[in-house]
Chain A
Amino acid sequence: MQLMFEKRKSLSRKAIVLVPVVSFLVSLLLSGILLAIFGANPMRTFAAMFNGAFGSWSNFTETLVKAIPLMLTGLGVTIAFRLRFWNIGAEGQLVLGGVAATWVALFWSPFIPDFLLLPTVILFGSLVGGLWAGLPAYLKTKLGVDETLVTLMLNYVAILFAEGLYYGAWRDPQGYGFPGTREFPQAAWLPRFSGRAHVGLFVAIAIGLILWLVLNRSKWGFELNMIGKNQRAAQCMGVNVKRNIVLALLLSGALAGMAGAFEVTAISHRLQQGLAMGYGYTAIIVAWLSQLNPIAGLFVAVLMAALLVGGDQVQMMMGLPAAMGLVMQGMILFPMLAGSLFTEYRIKRIDKQEHAE
């Protein structure tokens, strides 16, 4: 008897639902075993993690704080991945969006009326984030440069550029020499609705819903899907592939840039260490786990945020080393990613007779 993977002709509906559930159970089981080995009670640990992320309204707001940038960057990455354009530069797009937003918030405020300041800050942050993703898209379509490497390397450029600014030219003269810009004027603060959770949440949800409509119900979305499935066929059908790739990436980067603008205007109120938290990389997992479905992406972002927030509890309540939290996050993600294989493929048993045919 032999086993082989066979690509499913169409995605199995049953598998779409079952696979995430089963993978989640597998991951709980694996982490449970690991915890037991380390002498921690798995049930108590899971309960502590759940409690840390959802146990009270104030804990939940902290989960939302992390979910917002994950939603936006996750949606951005989703657009790019639909085209099979491997944008792994959401981190850099987020950071540069934050930098651009900071520039407006700090230096344009005398010239812009207060009520226009915040929208300008956010729009400019999104714009620059978009351009930062547009650059590799342009390079890919004009010169055939591989986007994976370019988007990855541009992350470092953006992060170091931001560091250069808040350690150097933009450093707060009243900050005792500590790195970080001065605080934004209040007019450039994005309102928080509870704890640190801010109105960016509603924007992110709205964008997720609109994006679902655009990708699944509009002509443009249809064109994008076609490009992702078969570029050559799309070209033959008269779709302008290059233009669409650049446009989609501008949008992809703009969402990451908006996430960066939200972080600086709602959370830190200045540009400083701690903007590049890895949201842009986690976004890749969000996009993948949501099977590139924007609405699913919103929920997956909350789940990932809960893992990040709940992971702290592993240390704080259970007294396990910090590395344990990370290992558990990996343990939870890995089966889910592996599981997604089964929605596209199925295991087929090949008997001798069949093999002989």
Chain B
Amino acid sequence: MSMKRLFIMLFVALVAISVVYGGGAQEEGGQAAPTETSEEEPLKVAFVYISIPGDLGWTYEHDRGRKYMVDQLGDQVETTYIENVPEGPDAARIFRQYAQQGYDMIFANSFGYMDPMYEVAQEFPDVIFEHCSGYKTADNMATYFGRMYQARYLSGIVAGEMTEVDKIGYVAAFPIPEVIRGINAFTLGVRKVNPDAKVQVVWTNTWYDPVKEREAAVALLDDGVDIVTQHQDTTEPQKAAAERGKLSIGYDSDMGKFVGETVLVSPIWNWGPYYAEQAQAAIDGTWVSHSFWGGIDGGTVKLSGFSDLVPQEVRDDVAAERERITSGEWDVFYGPFKNQKGEEVIPAGEQLSDEEMLNMNYFVEGVVGRVGD
């Protein structure tokens, strides 16, 4: 076939497509133009996700929060999301585009979005920005997160009582304070009930990479751990444990639902009420910048239901510790506890401040692994 004839055929095919779909484009094009928001128009809210809602973990829970917001506020909000946005300077383009398209409020669910979001927030003073898990704020940019360490600690009690070899594996994303804090809280829980147990950490340097997460879990299992937990976005480490007939502790979502009974319990996120509340405040015009760090008492972080494999006395121990936290009598990082080298971090009767917790860059006694530097 000559080049010319091929060219003509393609051209005809393309024209045919334009005819079929071209009409629709004009029809729908009319309503696409963003206009000034008047009072009757819904609040336009965009969510920027690090992974996909189908990860069954981190982003899955954020997207459930988005849906909860829509359920609560109905026609008052109009939401959209974008998934798999890489962290770093490039994310600024995404924020800017949403702002230019007339979105009133933008949520971003990973720490690596902080600097680009802060940059774009300066350019669009009328748009509300909400960043999860960072620390920078502005008049139109708030930060929000939860005291996951409280639920982590409680799940550590379950692991500490149920390990038979006193070796627990932890597949961890990045050596940043959020993750380190979780590992430490978990370990304090484990050793509260089982002072001989060790928690072995493997870093993946990724939030969302199912294959790498699974490999890391397999490496830990090969090394002889009998319970696996993780700070990642997917259920892969738990699945790897289940395939070996080993136990696991979930994270992010109630992973027992997706993996089975081998997942003893999961510390979980519950973003819905926060999202609905902030969107409502934006609609009412009462939104102000803030740093939100919700705990287990307010329900931002939770412990899922237990698997049938967890005996009643373990459940009772967890309930007792939970009571100490929610009553305000005690919190996870109250002294005394020691760091990895056996030096006392903080003496009895004192506690870490929020700022110290947000800066945590050392492991507590009982963790096997290095914080990266």
* A-to-B contact residues, CB < 8 Å: 14-15, 18, 21-22, 25-26, 28-29, 32, 36, 41-44, 47, 52, 58-59, 62, 65, 163, 167-169, 171, 176-179, 196, 267-268, 272-275, 277, 309, 312, 315-316, 319, 321-323
User: In chain B, what residue has the closest Cβ to A316?
Assistant: B82
Tell me the residues in window 159-186 of chain B with beta carbons closer than 8 Å to chain A beta carbons.
174-177, 180
Cα(A36)–Cα(B97), bound, Å = 25
Cα(A41)–Cα(B175), bound, Å = 44
Cα(A21)–Cα(B111), bound, Å = 43
Tell me the residues in window 22-77 of chain B with beta carbons closer than 8 Å to chain A beta carbons.
22, 24-25, 28-29, 52
Contact B361 A274 (CB under 8 A): no
Cα(A174)–Cα(B346), bound, Å = 22
Known: A167-B373, A274-B112. A28 touches B359 (CB 8 A): no
Residue of B11, B14, B94, B359 near A177 (CB, 8 A) is: B359
B289 at the interface (CB under 8 A from A): no
A-B contact pairs, 12 of them (CB 8 A): A22-B3, A25-B7, A42-B17, A169-B373, A176-B177, A178-B111, A273-B112, A277-B90, A312-B97, A315-B82, A321-B52, A322-B84
B96 at the interface (CB under 8 A from A): yes
Contacts of A267 in B (CB 8 A): 89
Cα(A52)–Cα(B98), bound, Å = 11
Contacts of A178 in B (CB 8 A): 111, 114, 134, 176-177
Closest 5 CB pairs of A and B: A274-B88, A168-B373, A322-B84, A177-B177, A43-B21
Cα(A343)–Cα(B96), bound, Å = 41
Shortest C-beta distance, B306 to chain A (Å), equals: 33
Cα(A315)–Cα(B84), bound, Å = 10
Contact A321 B21 (CB under 8 A): no
Contact A176 B93 (CB under 8 A): no
Compute the total of residue contacts between A and B using a CB distance below 8 Å.
118
Contact B21 A42 (CB under 8 A): yes
Residue of A29, A309, A316 near B80 (CB, 8 A) is: A316
Shortest C-beta distance, A176 to chain B (Å), equals: 5
Interface size on B, residues (CB 8 A): 51
Shortest C-beta distance, B356 to chain A (Å), equals: 11
Known: A22-B6, A62-B93, A196-B92. A177 touches B21 (CB 8 A): no
B86 at the interface (CB under 8 A from A): yes
Shortest C-beta distance, B261 to chain A (Å), equals: 31
Cα(A316)–Cα(B24), bound, Å = 19
Contact A29 B21 (CB under 8 A): no
Tell me the residues in window 257-294 of chain B with beta carbons closer than 8 Å to chain A beta carbons.
none
Contact A44 B96 (CB under 8 A): no
Cα(A67)–Cα(B96), bound, Å = 18
B326 at the interface (CB under 8 A from A): no
Known: A43-B22, A167-B373, A169-B373. A179 touches B176 (CB 8 A): yes
Contacts of B330 in A (CB 8 A): none
Contact B21 A275 (CB under 8 A): no
Shortest C-beta distance, A208 to chain B (Å), equals: 23
User: In chain A, what residue has the closest Cβ to B82?
Assistant: A315
Contacts of A26 in B (CB 8 A): 10
Contact B52 A14 (CB under 8 A): no
Tell me the residues in window 89-146 of chain B with beta carbons closer than 8 Å to chain A beta carbons.
89-90, 92-94, 96-98, 100-101, 111-112, 114-115, 134-135
B13 at the interface (CB under 8 A from A): yes
Cα(A29)–Cα(B7), bound, Å = 12
For the complex with contacts A168-B372, A321-B83, 18 further pairs of A-B residues with Cβ separation under 8 Å are A14-B3, A25-B7, A36-B17, A43-B17, A43-B22, A52-B97, A58-B96, A62-B96, A163-B205, A167-B373, A168-B373, A176-B359, A177-B359, A178-B176, A312-B94, A312-B97, A316-B82, A316-B94
Contact B11 A44 (CB under 8 A): no
User: In chain B, what residue has the closest Cβ to A12?
Assistant: B3
* B-to-A contact residues, CB < 8 Å: 3, 6-7, 10-11, 13-14, 17-18, 21-22, 24-25, 28-29, 52, 80, 82-84, 86-90, 92-94, 96-98, 100-101, 111-112, 114-115, 134-135, 174-177, 180, 205, 358-361, 372-373
Residue of A44, A59, A171, A176 near B21 (CB, 8 A) is: A44
Contact A43 B24 (CB under 8 A): yes
Cα(A7)–Cα(B25), bound, Å = 44
User: In chain B, what residue has the closest Cβ to A48?
Assistant: B32
Cα(A261)–Cα(B91), bound, Å = 19
User: In chain A, what residue has the closest Cβ to B23?
Assistant: A43
Contact B94 A18 (CB under 8 A): no
Residue of A29, A47, A322 near B82 (CB, 8 A) is: A322
Cα(A163)–Cα(B176), bound, Å = 13
Shortest C-beta distance, A233 to chain B (Å), equals: 33
Identify the interface centre among A43, A179, A277, A312: most chain B CB within 10 Å of its CB.
A43
Cα(A309)–Cα(B84), bound, Å = 14
Contact A274 B87 (CB under 8 A): yes
Contact B100 A58 (CB under 8 A): yes
Known: A167-B372, A179-B174. A18 touches B3 (CB 8 A): yes
User: In chain A, what residue has the closest Cβ to B180?
Assistant: A177
Contact B98 A273 (CB under 8 A): no
Contacts of A272 in B (CB 8 A): 88-89, 115
Cα(A76)–Cα(B49), bound, Å = 34
User: In chain A, what residue has the closest Cβ to B53?
Assistant: A321
Contacts of B373 in A (CB 8 A): 167-169, 171
Shortest C-beta distance, B235 to chain A (Å), equals: 19
User: In chain A, what residue has the closest Cβ to B111?
Assistant: A178
Cα(A323)–Cα(B54), bound, Å = 13
Contact B176 A44 (CB under 8 A): no
Contact B98 A316 (CB under 8 A): yes
User: In chain A, what residue has the closest Cβ to B373?
Assistant: A168
Shortest C-beta distance, B21 to chain A (Å), equals: 4
Residue of B24, B93, B114 near A309 (CB, 8 A) is: B93
Contacts of B52 in A (CB 8 A): 321-322
Contacts of B21 in A (CB 8 A): 36, 41-44
Residue of B10, B83, B135 near A29 (CB, 8 A) is: B10
User: In chain B, what residue has the closest Cβ to A163?
Assistant: B205
Cα(A14)–Cα(B21), bound, Å = 32
Contact B372 A277 (CB under 8 A): no
